[in-house]
Amino acid sequence: MPDADASHTWRHYTWRALRLVVVAYVIYAGLLALLQRKMIFPGTDLPAGKPTGLAEAGGEQIWLQNEEGKVEAWFFPGKGVSVDKPGPAVIIAHGNGELIDGWEVGTAGRYRQAGVSVLLPEYRGYGRSDGTPTQKHITRDFVRFYDRLASRPEVDGERIVYHGFSLGGGVLASLARKRKPAAFILQSTFTRIADMARGVPVPEFLITDPFETLSVVESLDIPVLVVHGERDEVIPFEHGKRLAKAAKDADFLPHAGGHHLMTDQVAFWRAVRKLFVRAGIFAK
């Protein structure tokens, strides 16, 4: 029965080849997931020191317990706010290669001087926080941090703004699906991870943390401010243009700097104030 033997041999090698393809695919997908996480969340390798700037800036350290351990956040009250006079607040989410340490000055300090309280939540696995950073984990933590912030007596829960820098814009867009802000600032932020992966042989369905910022912005009916550097060497300027175009009510502030360098601070804070007025957070 030479024909039967040949058919059996062919089927045997075909199934063996298919099994090898499946095994190779599983290994490829697993390695791809690990590499993605390392590229999206490189800040897990940053050294965790003591929170030296917290006490000096009059902040409060907050800990959130989750299934992987504890996650840190810092809260700073805005100038002039109190239980009797609650004010607006901003949640700031930093970039993927940063920690909350250092944000208590600069951006957070300017908000506080304007009477806006500030919450700086950390990402899992970053700094002094436990766990593994993923979009799902971080979003879950940020929802709980938002709820804590909104319940504080010195905070007006109807006037909470999001300010995301780089990856932080994607993080807060993910939060916005579950907790709608009064206004949204997207600074040096991408449209979605799939667009950042263009040119890399990664099928979209294998992207573990998609961060679909663009689709969230399209769905929001709130004032949005998009800020992006024309010389951004990390996230192309086109991402900022697309985000601004997608929003229903957006101001677009391009500047001549790169990813981290804001060349015109005066114009930036003028645009922020305009956003707050449009959103009814500040009086005209």
Q: What is the pLDDT along the chain (284 residues), one digit of tens a residue?
A: 556 565 656 665 666 666 655 454 445 455 555 578 888 999 888 888 888 778 888 899 999 999 999 999 999 999 999 999 999 999 999 999 999 998 888 899 999 999 999 999 999 999 999 999 999 999 999 999 999 999 999 999 999 999 999 999 999 999 999 999 999 999 999 999 999 977 665 677 788 999 999 999 999 999 999 999 999 999 999 999 999 999 999 999 999 999 998 889 999 999 999 999 999 999 98
Superfamily of domain 41-47+54-278: Alpha/Beta hydrolase fold, catalytic domain (3.40.50.1820)
- Who contacts 259 (Cβ-Cβ below 8 Å, separation ≥6)? 166, 188, 229, 232, 233, 234, 235
Q: Give the residues across from 118 on adjacent strands.
A: 76, 90
- The position carrying tokens 């907050």 is 62
Q: Is there a contact between 46 and 126 (Cβ–Cβ < 8 Å)? A: yes
User: What is the spatial distance between Cα 192 and Cα 172, in angstroms, rounded to a whole number?
Assistant: 13
Whether pTM > 0.85 for this model: the answer is yes
User: What is the spatial distance between Cα 36 and Cα 206, in angstroms, rounded to a whole number?
Assistant: 10
Buried b (16+ CB within 10 A) or exposed e, 213-239: bbebbeebebbbbbbbbeebebbbeeb
- Who contacts 239 (Cβ-Cβ below 8 Å, separation ≥6)? 189, 190, 191, 195, 228
User: What is the spatial distance between Cα 187 and Cα 261, in angstroms, rounded to a whole number?
Assistant: 11
Phi/psi region, residue 58 (left: phi>0; alpha: psi -120 to 50; beta: rest), is: left
User: What is the spatial distance between Cα 240 and Cα 275, in angstroms, rounded to a whole number?
Assistant: 17
User: What is the spatial distance between Cα 188 and Cα 54, in angstroms, rounded to a whole number?
Assistant: 26
